[in-house]
Amino acid sequence: MDSLVTANIRQRPVRSLVSAAGVALGVALVMLFTGLARGMSDEMHRRSSNVLAEIIFTRPGSMELTSSMTNLSVKYVERLQAIEGVESAVPVIRYVSQGGKGFGFEQIEGVDWEPFSRMNNIALIEGRAPAANDEIVIDTTKAQNGNYKPGGVLQLFGGKPYRVVGIYAPESGARIKMSLAAMQDALESPGKCTYILVKCKQGYDQVAVAKNIDASPTTSGNKIQFTRDVFVNIEKSIPYLNVFLRVLVGLAAVVSALVVMLAMYTTITERTREIGILKAMGASRGYIISEIEKEAILISLLGLVAGFIAAFIAGILVQRLYGLSFEIAWSWALAAAAIGLLGGALGALYPAMRAANLDPVSALAYE
């Protein structure tokens, strides 16, 4: 009888909606967190792949994921350019601050625009390069997300206004760039930088060039890294991120199962007399269990759809409001679907077995 599956949902819509919302919450959390992690990882990889320098020359401990130091002298630029195999060297200051809307973090780079853009094959598609200390350029993604155009103003360094004078493409490194001199002035670090990008001459192996840099008495004692090793994806940059995501998936499964179990247990209590009538009419234990499981799966399916919709909307809002990338990972989507459906089915198992084991006489006398 389909009434056991559909009538209870129609007659008790509030409880059914609450149950579906519990499943939706678990699914939405999995999709939102994994989507943000994947989006940020892919974005970081995409931007770093457009940094064409092969070697990063810096001081030990100067570069971390969410922080950086300005303690390397720009005098090393001339010393590096004198080493065999080095085509060009460009100093960069990387500054990491809290996101403009109080969420996440944002990177700003100070560079000499002409040599930096030539090294990495990026170009201005609107406006001009920064010159004054209060001028910046941004990439196309930053411009699109924030609806910025040349002449717009961004608040940086705790509220100081900076004027957008140009938009560049493709995205490379930090989305906001100002002149090296402006960054040195803002950080009160004259003659300093965070690292120096080193481009190798054509035909020279980057490993051999790195050895030449390390062996030179004018540049030894510093840290030499390959760009391909520094700009890794965010899952590897943040310790235990995958562990966190797995724990989140487990919690989502528990929440879904408990919510559905509570809903089904309440259903059994309220429909004890109806179940007694079914058993008196000859309904088997397997039939009763299957009907209750069908109702649980239907509620879980509704919650699954609602969870996907909620996660998608939340991801789009986060991307537009805070500039964070959101990309759906289909492997995690399948995991979320399995969590919603299996959690609901397992949560309803105990109430279903309890209903199947009711004594018909006692059930018919239940008020």
Cis bond leading into 130, ω under 30°? Answer: no
Per-residue burial over 322-340, b = 16 or more CB atoms within 10 Å of its CB, e = otherwise: bbbbbbebeebbebbbebb
Which is more confidently placed, 32 or 243? 32
Determine the Cα–Cα distance for residues 237 and 233; give it in Å rounded to an integer: 6
Assess contact for 47 and 335: CB atoms under 8 A: no
State the helix-helix crossing angle for 241-270 and 13-49, rounded to 10 degrees. Answer: 170
Which of 230, 218, 249, 247 shows the shortest CA–CA distance to 343?
A: 249
List, in sequence order, the alpha helices (H) in 216-284: 227-230, 234-237, 241-270, 272-280
Query: Residue 105: what residue type?
Result: F
Q: What is the pLDDT of residues 291-344, one digit of tens each?
A: 778 877 888 888 889 989 998 898 888 877 776 778 887 877 888 788 778 777
Is 0.85 surpassed by the pTM of this model?
no
Mean pLDDT computed over 336-361: 75
Assess contact for 23 and 300: CB atoms under 8 A: yes
User: pLDDT band for position 137 (50/70/90)?
Assistant: very high
Which is more confidently placed, 2 or 310? 310
Whether the predicted pLDDT of 362 surpasses 70:
no
User: pLDDT band for position 1 (50/70/90)?
Assistant: very low
* Block residue for tokens 């077995």: 353
Determine the Cα–Cα distance for residues 160 and 217; give it in Å rounded to an integer: 41
Percent of the chain with pLDDT over 70: 81
Which is more confidently placed, 248 or 179? 179
Which of 218, 101, 123, 227 shows the shortest CA–CA distance to 170?
A: 123
Whether the predicted pLDDT of 367 surpasses 60:
no
User: pLDDT band for position 352 (50/70/90)?
Assistant: confident
Q: What is the pLDDT of residues 182-229, one digit of tens each?
A: 999 999 899 999 999 999 999 999 999 999 999 999 998 889 988 877
Q: What angle do CA 117, 122, 123 make, to 5 degrees?
A: 95
